[in-house]
């Protein structure tokens, strides 16, 4: 995740704001296609998180939700505004996810084999020119989307457990059950063989053992010293782009 330049946060805005600024400005500067996935709720839906969300709703005179948590709009509006300023945002995709059967809540469920048997997605695209311009209106826009999510999920779970009003799920041709099954089996086979092969190589060859040990040490040290690979990547980018300017000053 660090190698993919994920934005790691502390969930405290005064600590996260400067890091958000640096990373988003970096994304805008490099002009690479960007897909930024954010969860304005900040956490998953549990009894404890729902209780905290309801407390927040009471204090702020908002509706209490049953199927979603109230979004944290500060980070959301900041990201949208920053990307707009950097001309690196063309649309927001609002994605609602529903599980008609079982909802795994922890790694324990996954280890027990309690995987979702079916997942439904509702996706709506909002082009950038349809979004409000001001921060306050953008916050209201975000809250409005969450009101819609609440009603959408309420209709889903209390109705036919389907987002489509026709009662039929829209399954892309590339996601046929046979294709999914084949990919699943190939993935299990690959990762099983890969894991066994790595264990065997570590057991047989001291060079491989040293490689893994050194790699782990380097990774842990860079995390402790610099804060992560994405921080190093950002620092290298800044250095390389400031270097010509410094050389010019030296020549003068």
Q: Which pLDDT value is given to residue 80?
A: 94
- pLDDT score, position 172: 65
Q: pLDDT digit string (tens) for 32-86?
A: 888 889 899 888 888 899 999 999 999 988 889 999 999 989 889 999 999 999 9
**Which range, 9-18, 39-48, 208-217, is most confident?**
208-217
Question: pTM for the whole thing?
Answer: 0.78
**Tens of pLDDT, residues 138-173:** 999 999 999 999 999 999 999 888 887 655 556 666
**Dihedral, 65, 71, 72, 74 alpha carbons, nearest 10:** -130
pLDDT at position 174 = 63
| Residue 228 predicted with pLDDT over 70 | yes
Neighbouring C-beta atoms of residue 208, cutoff 10 Å: 14
Pick 5 or 245 by higher pLDDT. 5
Identify the residue with better confidence: 247 or 198.
Answer: 198
For residue 242, pLDDT over 90 is answered with no
The answer, yes or no, to whether residue 187 has pLDDT greater than 80, is: yes
* pLDDT (tens digit per residue) in 115-130: 888 888 999 999 999 9
Q: How far apart are CA 213 and CA 95, in angstroms?
A: 41
Q: Say whether pLDDT at 246 is over 60.
A: no
CB-based contact 96:149 (threshold 8 Å): yes
pLDDT at 245: 39
Under DSSP, is residue 232 helix (H, G, I), strand (E, B) or coil?
A: helix
Long-range contacts of 228-232 (CB under 8 A, 24+ apart): 228/2, 228/8, 229/2, 229/3, 230/2, 230/5, 230/6, 230/7, 230/8, 230/23
CA distance 74 to 135: 9
Average of per-residue pLDDT across 177-187: 85
Supply the pLDDT for residue 109.
Answer: 79
CA angle 130, 136, 142 (to 5 degrees): 55
What is the rounded CA–CA span in Å between residue 198 and residue 187?
Answer: 16
Using the 8-state DSSP alphabet, how is residue 39 labeled?
-
Q: Say how far apart CA 93 and CA 108 lie, in whole Å.
A: 31
The answer to whether the beta carbons of residues 84 and 109 sit under 8 Å apart is: no
DSSP H helical ranges for 91-228: 107-111, 135-158, 177-204, 206-226
- Domain spans of the chain, in order of start: 35-170
41 near 68, Cβ under 8 Å? yes
């Amino acid at each position: 995740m660090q190698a993919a330049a994920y934005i790691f946060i502390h969930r405290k805005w005064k600590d996260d704001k400067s890091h958000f600024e640096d990373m988003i400005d970096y994304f805008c500067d490099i002009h690479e296609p960007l897909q930024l996935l954010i969860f304005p709720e900040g956490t998953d839906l549990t009894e404890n998180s729902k209780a905290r969300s309801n407390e927040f709703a009471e204090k702020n005179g908002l509706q209490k939700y049953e199927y979603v948590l109230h979004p944290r709009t500060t980070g959301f509006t900041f990201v949208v505004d920053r990307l707009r300023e950097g001309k690196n945002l063309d649309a927001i995709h609002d994605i609602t996810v529903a599980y008609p059967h079982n909802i795994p809540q922890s790694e324990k469920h996954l280890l027990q084999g309690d995987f979702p048997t079916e997942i439904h997605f509702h996706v709506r695209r909002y082009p950038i020119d349809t979004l409000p311009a001001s921060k306050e209106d953008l916050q209201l826009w975000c809250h409005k989307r969450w009101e819609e999510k609440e009603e959408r999920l309420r209709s889903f779970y209390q109705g036919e457990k389907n987002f489509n009003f026709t009662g039929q799920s829209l399954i892309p041709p590339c996601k046929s059950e046979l294709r999914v099954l084949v990919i699943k089996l190939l993935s299990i086979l690959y990762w099983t063989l890969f894991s066994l092969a790595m264990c065997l190589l570590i057991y047989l060859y001291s060079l491989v053992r040293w490689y893994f040990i050194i790699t782990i040490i380097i990774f842990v040290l860079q995390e402790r010293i610099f804060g992560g690979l994405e921080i190093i990547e950002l620092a290298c980018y800044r250095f390389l782009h400031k270097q010509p300017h410094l050389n010019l000053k030296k020549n003068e």
